[in-house]
Structure 1
């Protein structure tokens, strides 16, 4: 079995209007791309979900109302081992941009723009979500993700 050398936690984050909250990344010399909020699980995080909540607060100034495991992606890492990316279906409770902090805000490499797109096939077609495995999962599972966030499931 391959060693897990990195874990990340990312939010498939929907607002109260069922719009998908993404971060548009624009780096010098690269074509823009869109990522879900989240990032690396740090040693001080007691759980993957705690790491996700911390990352959403840092990147968006956001608080999560609900968080349900949805998708796991395993990616080989250069030098050996794998990165396990945990994706959670989440509902956004609140956002206060003044609470944003961390390297994305304090020392950005390019631009981080928070965008919201309709969580529909047409809305997803307007953005280049990475990784490609997540983009395919989102497109194929819109109804399923919405079902994960229904109150009667939680």
Structure 2
């Protein structure tokens, strides 16, 4: 069964880095940066750090596993809380960025508040709810 990893990336400015997807015929939506665990990855955490390097040319520090779900394709997705100081979206190298048929990938930095999270269509909805609840409990903050 395929595993996927996602990085809930918190910046020193207490913002959250999200990928906005714009695809023809579909309302824009946001996703948490990450992707599939490859056979060559030593661990899920190594896969996550590789994905962050590929997608935003960033170096993240993983804090902990926050949540996991089974997605509609039957894959397990692991959502890790991570902190990041530097990134450069212009230097991204992921294979998805080379394809013209996948729509646009835009990096957004949103305030780390329940209101800001509620204002974007963050998918999957379950992780949006988990993040808002964690914010309400005071469990998410910049510590870089």
TM norm structure 1: 0.84
**Where has structure 1 moved over 4 Å in runs of 4 or more?**
none
- Which stretch of the first structure deviates more once superposed, 102-111 or 31-40? 102-111
Structure 1, unpaired ranges of 5+: none
* 3-state SS of 1:89 partner: strand
Tell me, in whole angstroms, the C-alpha distance in 2 between the residues paired with 1:121 and 1:17: 16
Q: Does the CA-based 8 Å contact 2:63-2:83 persist in structure 1?
A: yes
Paired residue for 2:57?
61
Are positions 1:100 and 2:92 aligned together? yes
Are positions 1:121 and 2:133 aligned together? no
Number of equivalent positions: 141
- Which stretch of the first structure deviates more once superposed, 120-129 or 103-112? 103-112
Q: Does the CA-based 8 Å contact 1:70-1:145 persist in structure 2?
A: no
* Superposition CA RMSD, Å: 1.6
Tell me, in whole angstroms, the C-alpha distance in 2 between the residues paired with 1:76 and 1:97: 28
Written as runs of structure 1 = structure 2, the 5 A alignment for 1:121-140 is 121-140=114-133
Tell me, in whole angstroms, the C-alpha distance in 2 between the residues paired with 1:86 and 1:6: 11
2:16 to 16, 20, 33: 20
Shift of 1:67: 3.2
Task: Say which one has the larger Rg.
Answer: 1
Tell me, in whole angstroms, the C-alpha distance in 2 between the residues paired with 1:96 and 1:120: 24
Q: Does the CA-based 8 Å contact 2:52-2:58 persist in structure 1?
A: yes
